[in-house]
Amino acid sequence: KRVFGCFTEALKGLPDETNDRRRLKEIFANPSLQMVSFTITEKGYALRGADGQYYSFIQADIDHGPERAVGAIAVIAAMLLERYQAGAKPLALVSMDNCSQNGARLRSAVLEIGREWRDRGFVEEEFVNYISDEERIAFPWTMIDKITPRPGETVKTMLQEAGVEDMDIVVTQKQTYIAPFVNAEEPQYLVVEDHFPGGRPPLEKAGVYMTSRETVNKAERMKVTVCLNPIHTALAPYGCVLGFTLFSDQMRDPEMVKLAEKVGLREGMEFVEDPGIISPKAFIDECINVRFSNPYLGDTPQRIAVDTSQMVGIRFGENIKACVRKYGNAKKLTGIPLAIAGWLRYLLAVDDEGKPFELSPDPMIPELQAQMAGIVFGDPDSLQDQLRPILSNRNIFGIDLYDAGIGETITEMLREEIAGKGAVRAALKKYLA
């Protein structure tokens, strides 16, 4: 057993942390700096709320300028200003967050802050030109894949027994779990656009795929629309309804394995674009047979089910749209409609034995449950036309599922799944036979 320490220095980027902020400026001003990587979550790149207005802390960063920047994007822009003033040397800012076209998102956010500061007189036009020039400040796209669920008690205990101190797991006010360690899996993929204007370390020697932006995008879409994320999103709601608390246990269930294979191998694989550097078939086989069944990962269907309403558009909608383009409708699909029916069944917050359970956080739960009002466990006839506003919502699925020819199919599947105790299991056996 070996425990690796990977941090040599930790700094706070807040303006009131004088010494830390000064040190951060020194690092960004150093001509030898070649790249800075980021893991701030997909939400970290958002500057505006649903109303189109800046978040209050973003507006404060814009109004107060670089020296008082607090949010991640504004701090990045402020540090780029330090580099600009120290000679405007090139640099690559590399997003490692698990979202599509992450480099473009990071670039857009940083440029917006820079332009707002220019308009308020905090920075000059030439600074905006500097950060806009991708031959000087680059934002390579990446595809990163390594499942990292919430910190596990078993890993904490193992580290403590090895003499590592202060390994406590903390639950934040937003009910997220954080710790000084991460329990993760052995398989890992990092695909990076090879655009580093100031040079780079030999990342390929560490197993990183260095390639073109087009290939990065294909690899990311392979994972997100077919080979990994759709299977997660298909299985997690069913896992909650069937009473599973570990995803690895769920992957020992015959129906769950069949659903994974149906959604990924049988239906999604037809529409995947091979990125060339990673085999989609080998990737999905590894997910189903190795990664998802890893008992040491400690992943849960409850964690995976978080924010499902925000995921189904890309994870299911893209393949539905591809099927419609190829065949005129999506009626040949069974696994994906069954997955959507399972998510709707999950939203009733009643398990397959008729017992209530707690749903995972999702911003659309109140709206979706209001639209599903009147659907009653044990009464199939209670399901009338309640699903129409959901299944026709292009903002959720990216397509009207009735226009795709599967709205009625999903409705019938859900009707079977609310029939009574054991109805979900019976429906799975029927449609996956």
Q: What is the 3-state secondary structure (H, E, C) of 212-223?
A: CHHHHHHHHHHH
Strands (E) in 263-335, as ranges, are: none
Number of H helices, E strands in the chain: 20, 8
Radius of gyration of the chain from Cα atoms?
24
Read off the pLDDT of residues 297-328 as tens digits, 9 standing for 90 and up: 888 999 999 999 999 999 999 999 999 999 99
pLDDT at 183 over 90: no
Residue 224 pLDDT exceeds 80: yes
Nearest one of 262, 292, 247 to 145, comparing CA atoms: 292
- Residue 135 binned pLDDT confidence (cut-offs 50, 70, 90): very high
Asked whether the beta carbons of 365 and 343 are under 8 A apart, the reply is no
Q: Which helix (H) or strand (E) holds 52?
A: none
The CA distance from 82 to 324, in Å, is 51
Q: What would the pLDDT profile of 323-336 be if each residue is shown by its tens digit? A: 999 999 999 999 99
**Of 183, 145, 178, the residue nearest 3 (C-alpha):** 183
Here the tokens at position 212 are 């073109």
List, in sequence order, every residue forming a beta bridge with 92; answer none if it has no partner: 35, 138
Percent of the chain with pLDDT over 70: 98
Q: What is the mean pLDDT of the chain?
A: 94
- Distance of alpha carbon 129 from alpha carbon 222, whole angstroms: 35
- Whether the per-residue pLDDT at 278 is higher than 70: the answer is yes
**What CA–CA distance (Å, rounded) separates 186 from 299?**
14
pLDDT (tens digit per residue) in 41-97: 888 899 998 788 999 999 999 999 999 999 999 999 999 999 999 999 999 999 999
Angle at 427 between CA 424 and CA 433, to 5 degrees: 135
Using pLDDT thresholds of 50, 70 and 90, give the confidence band for residue 355. Answer: very high
Q: Which two tokens stand for residue 352?
A: 């397959």
What percentage of the chain exceeds 90 in pLDDT? 84
What does the pLDDT read at residue 177? Answer: 83
Query: Residue 408 has which token pair?
Result: 């009625």
**Residue 3 pLDDT level (bands cut at 50, 70, 90):** low
Query: Which of the pair, 19 or 154, is modelled with greater confidence?
Result: 19
Assign 7 a pLDDT band (cuts: 50, 70, 90).
confident
Question: Per-residue pLDDT for 149 more than 90?
Answer: no
H/E element, 192? strand 189-193
Task: Encode pLDDT of 101-129 as tens digits.
Answer: 999 999 999 999 999 999 999 999 999 99
110-119, 140-149, 210-219, 336-345: the lowest-pLDDT one = 140-149
- Asked whether residue 270 carries a pLDDT value surpassing 90, the answer given is yes
1 pLDDT above the threshold of 70: no
Stretch 177-196: mean pLDDT, rounded?
90
Tell me, what's the pLDDT at 147? 84
Average pLDDT over residues 192-204: 98
The 3-state secondary structure of 89-130 reads CCEEEEECCCCCCHHHHHHHHHHHHHHHHHHCCCCCHHHHHH
> What value does the mean pLDDT take over residues 214-220?
96
> What is d(CA 182, CA 186) in angstroms, rounded to the nearest whole number?
12
Pick the residue with more confidence: 132 or 1?
Answer: 132
How many degrees, rounded to 5, is the angle at CA 421 between CA 417 and CA 427? Answer: 30
On whether the CB atoms of residues 260 and 227 are closer than 8 A, the answer is no
**In sequence order, what are the beta bridge partners of 54?**
48
Give the pLDDT score at 52: 87
Q: Which domains does the chain have, with CATH numbers?
A: 18-143 (3.40.50.720), 212-431 (1.10.1040.10)
Give tens-digit pLDDT for 399-424: 999 999 999 999 999 999 999 999 99
Residue 181: what pLDDT?
86
